[in-house]
Structure formats: C-alpha cells, structure tokens
Amino acid sequence: MKLKIAGLSALAALVAVMTLAAGCSSSSSSKSSDTIRIGLEAPITGSLAELGQGMLNGAKQAATYVNANGGVGGKKIEIVAIDDKGDPDAGVAAANSAVKAGLDAVVGPYNSGVGLKTLPIYMDAGLVPLRLTSSDQTAGMGFTLQPMTSQIAPVATDALVKQLKASSVALIVDSTTDYTKSAAQAMTASLGNAGIRITTAESITPGATSYADTVTKVLATNPSAVYVITYYPEAGLIAQAMLATNTSVNCLADYGAYDNGYITAAGIPAAQKCPVVGVPAPRDSPVPFSVVDASDRYFSFQLVDPYANYAKQFNSAPGSWSPYTYDSVLVLADAIGRAGGTSAAALKSALAATSGWKGWTGTVAFDATTGNRIPAPVTVNTVTSDGVFQVDPAWITATGFTY
C-alpha cells in the first residue's frame, strides 16, 4: 500500500505530467536541460567548515532522495557547492562565479554578514534564495526555514528568566559580525522589556586562544547569568573558561554558537555547563514526513528516516544544520514543481503559498512579505554525556515547550 507523504508536496503528481521550461532562470548559461542546478552557499572551508560541510551534505542527501524518485518533472537535481568561507568578500566572488556558471536556485548562505552581500547577487540574477541567515537585516531576501533574530531573542530571554531564574545578565558579544551585533541589540531590548538588568556587555574579537580574562571581567560585575553572543569556536572557549572558574553563575550561549563544532571546541563537560539556544537537534526533530490525507498534493513514497539515511550516505551523524539544508532543497523542489519552473515570479509565489509542508525540521509555512518561517522553531539545547545535542528537558519543563 502506498502512503501519502507530506514533505514533497505536489512533486510526485507532477513528475509524470510536467515538463519544466528550459532556461527559466536568468542566471542560466551552460546548464543541461535535464538538470536543475541548486547552489548551496556555506562556509565549506575556514573556521566554520564543520558547519558548512554538514550543510552541504544535507543538501546532497535531499538531492539523492529526489533523484531516486523521479526528480522534478523528470529533471535531476544537481547540488553546486559555493564556498564563501564565512567571509563576505570570498562569498561575493564565489556567488558571482556560480551565477555565471548557471544556477536555477540557491540554498544559503548561513552567515548573515555574507548574506547581506551575496543574497542581492542571486536576486539580481533572477533567483529566489532559500537563505539560512538569521539577521533581521536579511528579511525579505528570499525565504528561510531558519528562525530570525527577532524570533530568537524572546526564547532566549524566556530561558534566562523562567529556567535560569536570572535577575541580571552579563553579555559577551562578538562585535565583528552582522549577526552577532544584531543579536546583541535584540537581546538588549528583550531583556530590558523583561525587566532584567544587564551588568555589562563585553566585546571580544574572534581568533584568541583563550577568553579567560573576558570571563573574569564579566563575572566581576556579579551577574546571575552570562549570555554568550558569538559563533561556536569562540563560544566553546568561553564555555571552557566558565567551567574553569568553578562559578555558580549560569551560562547560556546564543543561536550563533549552535553547531556540533561548539561541542568540539568546548569539550563535553564545558558544553554541558553552557547550553545553547538553537533548533531541535537532528535526532530530536519531529517525526518527518507524516502520513496525511491529501492525495491531490503529496508524493506517494515509503516512509523515510532522514537521520538514519544521512548516516548511511555519509558515514557520520548529521550536522546541526543538515536538516535545514535537506528540507530547503525539498521545499524548493516542491515549489519548482508547483510553479512549473524556476522563474522568479512563479517560484516566489509558490513558496509564499507553502502551507502545511512537513519535513525533517517540522511543519513549514512562510510569511509572504518577509519570507520568514512561521512559526519559527527555537529551542534550548543541552549536551548529553556522549556529546550529542538534545532539547533541554529542564527548559521544556520550565517553559512548557511542545513540538
């Protein structure tokens, strides 16, 4: 018996009856008419390479899944790696090169500072990005499955107040990136609205081998909690320094730190000392591809387990953002099928109309104006004794979170 599977909405029904128009994207140059080229922009090399590789693998896994089941209108998906190294200048060069070579769609980038430079390049080329940026400055630049800064700050504040019982908070902020600066602004406002006193906001510059002096400085202001607004290499070192002080002050790391690389950088004991605001971990995500009664919209497939399939395909556990690039590629494939091609106007309309789509990251719908996901999945994650993220049970109890 065939099951109707949400997550590839409209895709299968169109496989047998639809022929996509060739050359729909203005970025096309030498593409095969039998291939849909989806760029995956990420920091594939550099300090965030562990994160970027997981993103790339998630996109490749989704392409393998679609291609094994007829493609989109008979067309195979090809994932084109676009390595921005987490650097805006490198990102601009890589994006321009990829557009020149020909793309039909794009997923990424991850870093907001890079996205502010590269997302306009893709949009000017007639593409509709599925971005993974979280800075509110990138709202409206395509669509995203990721939470945005304005959606993250209230959850982080709630965790500090309800779970950690903080009455005062010290901030440690990477002052060099667009995301961390915008996150600091959002947290300052959110904590103020909650009546929480900020004892200090200490800036750091990435690249140091230790942040022990910074931790000593902020603890001297007597906060009841420390909130760390950096990416994961620095956040891991800060968590190490917090553990070394034997302080009873609580620690919580911002969304920018959420990746398996944080655990690597911190070590398990330090990572357990400082949970991270993020999204449901890959093995904690809602059960994917729920059975639904929608025979006119959904692809008939056997149920799949993307967590297990990732491990089989890549011989490793998924990265923190692998589910998001996986679902982004599938959402794009679904929308391309419904749009009848990759022209910007039709694809934007199809994405805006997405509703009730279910995948590895849960149910997906978008705000038509901003392209933001509604509602956004934001959680507090802790680290298990075997070094794996899981949604923090204490946070669930304190806040009443449900999937």
Burial of 213: CB neighbours in 10 Å, binned 0-12, 13-18, 19+: exposed
Q: Which residue has the higher pLDDT, 346 or 361?
A: 346
Q: pLDDT averaged over the chain? A: 88
Would 62 be classed as within a structural domain?
Answer: yes
For 371-400, what is the mean pLDDT? 93
Residue 392's pLDDT band (cuts 50, 70, 90):
very high
Would 386 be classed as within a structural domain?
Answer: yes
For 57-64, what is the mean pLDDT? 96
Supply the pLDDT for residue 272: 97
Beta-strand ranges (E) seen in 175-249 are 197-204, 225-229
The number of distinct structural domains making up the chain is 2
Q: By three-state DSSP, how is residue 213 classified? A: helix
Supply the pLDDT for residue 303: 54
**195 and 51 assigned to the same domain:** no
Compute CA distances 181 → 32, 185, 228, 261, 298, whole Å.
Answer: 42, 6, 12, 21, 41
Supply the pLDDT for residue 32: 53
Q: What is the pLDDT of residues 124-152, one digit of tens each?
A: 999 999 999 999 999 999 999 999 999 99
Choose the weakest-confidence range: 21-25, 112-116, 153-157, 231-235. 21-25
Choose the weakest-confidence range: 19-28, 154-163, 356-365. 19-28
Contacts of 165 (CB under 8 A, 6+ apart): 224
**249 and 218 assigned to the same domain:** yes
Region at 216 (left for phi over 0; alpha for psi -120 to 50; beta for the rest): alpha
Q: What is the pLDDT of residues 6-24, one digit of tens each?
A: 344 444 433 333 333 333 4
Number of Cβ within 10 Å of residue 318's Cβ equals 26
Number of Cβ within 10 Å of residue 336's Cβ equals 31
Supply the pLDDT for residue 302: 41
Token reading at 106: 């794009």
Rounded Cα distance, 133 and 145, in Å: 9
pTM: 0.85
Contacts of 161 (CB under 8 A, 6+ apart): 194, 196
Rounded Cα distance, 376 and 399, in Å: 16
Supply the pLDDT for residue 288: 47
Supply the pLDDT for residue 19: 36
Rounded Cα distance, 74 and 52, in Å: 29
Would 293 be classed as within a structural domain?
Answer: no
**85 and 169 assigned to the same domain:** no
Rounded Cα distance, 134 and 255, in Å: 9
Would 287 be classed as within a structural domain?
Answer: no
For 45-58, what is the mean pLDDT? 95
**Per-residue pLDDT for 344 more than 50?**
yes
**124 and 175 assigned to the same domain:** no
Supply the pLDDT for residue 396: 92
Burial of 300: CB neighbours in 10 Å, binned 0-12, 13-18, 19+: middle
Supply the pLDDT for residue 5: 33
**137 and 20 assigned to the same domain:** yes
Residue 4's pLDDT band (cuts 50, 70, 90):
very low
Would 372 be classed as within a structural domain?
Answer: no
Q: Which residue has the higher pLDDT, 328 or 5?
A: 328
Supply the pLDDT for residue 134: 94
Task: Give 105's Cβ-side CA count (13 Å radius).
Answer: 33
Q: For residue 130, what is the domain's CATH number? A: 3.40.50.2300
Q: What is the pLDDT of residues 214-230, one digit of tens each?
A: 999 999 999 999 999 99
**Per-residue pLDDT for 293 more than 60?**
no
Would 236 be classed as within a structural domain?
Answer: yes
**Helix or strand (DSSP H, E) at 38:** strand 35-42
**359 and 221 assigned to the same domain:** no
Rounded Cα distance, 66 and 61, in Å: 9
**Per-residue pLDDT for 59 more than 80?**
yes
**103 and 156 assigned to the same domain:** no
**31 and 136 assigned to the same domain:** yes
**390 and 251 assigned to the same domain:** yes
For 59-81, what is the mean pLDDT? 94
Would 10 be classed as within a structural domain?
Answer: yes
For 250-257, what is the mean pLDDT? 97
Q: How many whole angstroms from its chain centre is CA 315?
A: 22
Q: Could you tell me which residues are beta bridge partners of residue 197?
A: 168
Rounded Cα distance, 217 and 382, in Å: 25
Q: Which amino acid is at 267?
A: G
**159 and 235 assigned to the same domain:** yes
Supply the pLDDT for residue 287: 53
Would 358 be classed as within a structural domain?
Answer: yes
Residue 33's pLDDT band (cuts 50, 70, 90):
confident
314: domain range? 3-146+301-364
Rounded Cα distance, 190 and 203, in Å: 19
Rounded Cα distance, 343 and 264, in Å: 42
Residue 238's pLDDT band (cuts 50, 70, 90):
very high
Supply the pLDDT for residue 299: 35
First to last CA, the chain: 29
**Per-residue pLDDT for 3 more than 80?**
no
**266 and 391 assigned to the same domain:** yes
Q: Which amino acid is at 282?
A: P
**41 and 141 assigned to the same domain:** yes
DSSP 162: I
Token reading at 148: 């945005």
